Amino acid sequence: MNPALRRGLTGLGVFVAVLEVFPRTDVVGRGYLPPFSSIVSALGRQVGEPAFWSALLDTLRGWSAGLGIAAVAGLVLGVAIGVVPPLRSLTASTIEFLRPIPSVALIPLAVLLYGTGMRSTVLLIVYASFWQVLVQVLDGVRDVDPVAAETARSYRFGLRTRIRTVVWPTALPYVLTGLRLAATVALVLAITGELVIGSPGLGRQIALAQSAGAVETMYALVVVAGLLGVAVNLSIRAVERRTLRWHVSVRREAAA
């Protein structure tokens, strides 16, 4: 086993041991932090319940719907604004202004419009992750090599050919970065929406466990949320490496 992996596992082991020992020795009260083993057994009970799986499925459904809408809208608008320079300078200030508006400020509005259903949460997800994609796509389109752009112009490439052969390959790494950021943000907002608004999903299960005083179940669900986050991160990174196999940054990484 290589030393890096061994040390990582040791670190994880120490973390788990602390979570097990502290509550058992009453350094932290059990009502606040249950021992790790009882969190795991609570997780085991959850896995046996259909309610847990339908909540997980709801979260994933809201996440993917919101992310999908945001990605398509961000891509289309980003490329459209990016390839027309006057449009870019006209919209720059508006984008800079709208982006830092905290998406959660829209929660009251979403509840008013859509009640506590899944659509409220999807609205939040779309708003938050749209900007991540849009800004990266705009950066990517701007990064096009001037020589390549001029060459395409000399050869009188049409707009579609230009986008497909010049703009798209340059922008693709940026697009994937945008998608990675958006995927993380979308997960945060999905769970937040469920937690605060009460639309169905893992977040609502956590809120329910909290109000029922089921501390162990609550911790188990938080662990699930964390694992979901890790899974999203890893899978997007895998997609990134696959799609950008040809790109210098990935090739260099593989060679190193």
Partner 1 sequence: MRLLRSTLTAAALPVALVTAWWLISRGSQSFFWPPLSDIVAELRPTWLGERLRADVVPSLLRLATGYALALAAGILAGLAIGLSARLRQYCEPVLEFCRSIPPPVLIPIIMLFAGIGDQMKVIVIVSGCVWPVLLNTAEGARAIDEVLRDTARVYRLRPAARFRHLLLRGASPHIVTGARQALSIAIILMVISEMFAASNGLGFATVQFQRSFAIPQMWSGILLLGVIGVTLALAFKLVENRVLAWYFGLRRHQ
Q: Can you tell me which of 89, 165, 235, 249 binds partner 1, judged by CB under 8 A?
A: 89
Alpha carbons 207 and 195: distance in angstroms, whole number: 6
Nearer to partner 1, 18 or 76 (CB): 18
Contact 183, 235 (CB under 8 A): no
Per-residue x/- mask for partner 1, residues 155 to 194, rule CB under 8 A? --------------------------------xx--xx--
Question: x/- site string to partner 1, residues 21 to 60, per CB under 8 A?
Answer: ----------xx----------------------------
Q: Is 4 in the site for partner 1 (CB under 8 A)?
A: yes
> Can residue 3 be called a binding residue for partner 1 (CB under 8 A)?
yes
Instruction: Output 8 or 44, the one with its CB closest to partner 1.
Output: 8
Residue range at the interface with partner 1 (CB under 8 A); choices 68-76, 91-99, 152-160, 247-255: 91-99
Q: How far apart are CA 224 and CA 112, in angstroms?
A: 30
Residue 32 DSSP code? T
The sign of the torsion formed by the CA atoms of 244, 74, 72, 83 equals negative
- Integer Cα distance of 183 and 65 in angstroms: 11
Tell me if 117 contacts partner 1 by CB under 8 A: no
Using the rule CB under 8 A, is 108 a contact of partner 1?
Answer: yes
Tell me the closest approach of the beta carbon of residue 256 to partner 1, in angstroms: 15
Residue 74 vs 162, nearer CB to partner 1: 74
Contact region for partner 1 (CB under 8 A) — 5-13, 43-51, 141-149, 241-249? 5-13
Number of residues engaging partner 1 in binding (CB under 8 A): 57
How far apart, in whole angstroms, are the C-alpha atoms of residue 169 and residue 188? 30
CA 189 – CA 16 distance, rounded (Å): 28
Rounded distance between C-alpha atoms, residue 182 and residue 176, angstroms: 10
Give buried/exposed letters for 92-104 (b at 16+ CB in 10 A, else e): eeeeeeeeeeebb
Between 44 and 226, CB nearer to partner 1? 226
